Chain A
Amino acid sequence: MPAAPPLDERAAVRRLLDRLGTGARRPDVDAGATAGFDATLDALLTRDEPLPTDLPSFPPLPAVKADDPRKDAVEAARRDQEQASVTWWLDRMATVAAPRAEKLTWFWHGHFATSNQKVRDPQNMIVQNQTFRTLGQDSFETLAHAMVVDPALTLWLDNQTNRKGIPNENLGRELMELFTLGVGHYAETDVREAARALTGWTYEDRAVTFAPTKFDDAPKTVLGTTADYDAEGLVSMLAARPESARFVASRLWFRLVSATPPSEADLDALVAAYGSGTAVRPLLRAIATTPAFRDPTTALVKQPVEWAVGLSRALGRPLGALPAADQSKALNQLKGLGQVPFDPPNVGGWPAGAPYLTASATVVRLGFAQTLLKAAPLSGPVEPPPSGSNARVEWARATLAVDGWSGRTRTALQSLAGGDPRQLLAAAAVSPEYVVSV
């Protein structure tokens, strides 16, 4: 296949909004095309949405034994809290004016992937989520420091049981394998020694505190260096390793650009931008300014949450606008697609690419789009649907901020152009052009 020409300015702006934001909206693409790629990138990197004033706050639920008569009520309350937290975050991603912090929050959630299923207190997940939002925008090292003592991550990886003399290696292992270095950059002895450095932290009442008597204060040897490592010292040492910079840069590239790794030259440029300050925004800028970022072949399958949020955003239709029953239905459909926030399959986070392109996924996606579009007012970022078959199909394209329809998709959509515009948009939302971000 001959090399495809780079994306034009408008498509590159659309890609910026998809990849560094939470999905392109028609008015944003129009404004970005006028302002230009560089100005759009500047705005994405520098504009910060005010922190949420409506952050969910849930009362603690009593710990009940299996034979407690309150058990069913407590479990129902927990499910309500989980659903409320998921809906809140999805809608924040779908509605913020400055979306970069939410995109990074989503990225860090997949990176330090923690699940309600074991944490079993949605408030801890919300606290972690807010930490990603506040500390995940600048220094990776700072974020990593916060994560090793984060209440949700602590419970998730059993670090409250990691004590002097009886170490638990879960956090030590994942810290190196999944959070900072990547597989192959450490040995089993490093895992054991790192686990000792992470001892001493206890969990109670949604808080992690340091208990000096449970801390192993003898020297540890990690990656060939012997020191009196504690959690902070260990994380600083790991974050400063050259392989950590390459690892973090590669993970962001994998989620924001392509499943094909960056070239050595590109990776060097990313690492240089990240620097000793482990600076996330300069790294994002370096990613967005590589030639590969404008290469139309670096396509990504939208993860289900990215697809659903992007659709909700493009339509100006947050889940909170739906009747309660339809909100639950939409979340079940998201579950059927294999991805619900706060519920990753394991600490490695969600898979990418092919697993979301199963046959049944199209049926479920269509169901979600129909739920979202039921009685939707088609206002906000959505312009009024024009009359005329070609104009309608073109309107659907612009509404979903798709660069262009293929002949295949245009033909299929034209069969719906005379009917309810919501049906046309639902079909367009499951087209290969919308499911895959080029």
Chain B
Amino acid sequence: MKCTFTPSICSYCGTGCGVLFETIDGRLNSTIPMKSHPVSQGKLCIKGWNLHEHINSPMRLQKPMVKTFGRFINTSWDEAIQITADRFREIIDQYGPDSLGVLVSAKMSNEENYLAQKLARAVFGTNNVDHCARL
């Protein structure tokens, strides 16, 4: 029997509460608030308390899916990215780059947010970059 505790940060919002994942025999068993965390000080909201719930859910999507003829079909990452890129190209060619927008998140790192805006400005050629906290 192996039981481990992994400190982490809640992935739901920009607050960044400290959580601790209790894993028994490689299976995520529960979420515990991290007592000494400077942000949350051992408190969590209902979303943070249930972080572990969806990890083991059979409903969880583990492969990319592409909607073809109204149905979702499993595909590889390479193909999924290729299809996305092709559709972006199509939309930009037809309606112009400002028809696209990029929505970033408070829960991403600065570096990821930087990359997302770089993609929007340098690749798509649009200034439509916004943030989930402004919705």
Specify whether A and B are partners: no
B interface vs A, CB < 8 Å? Answer: none
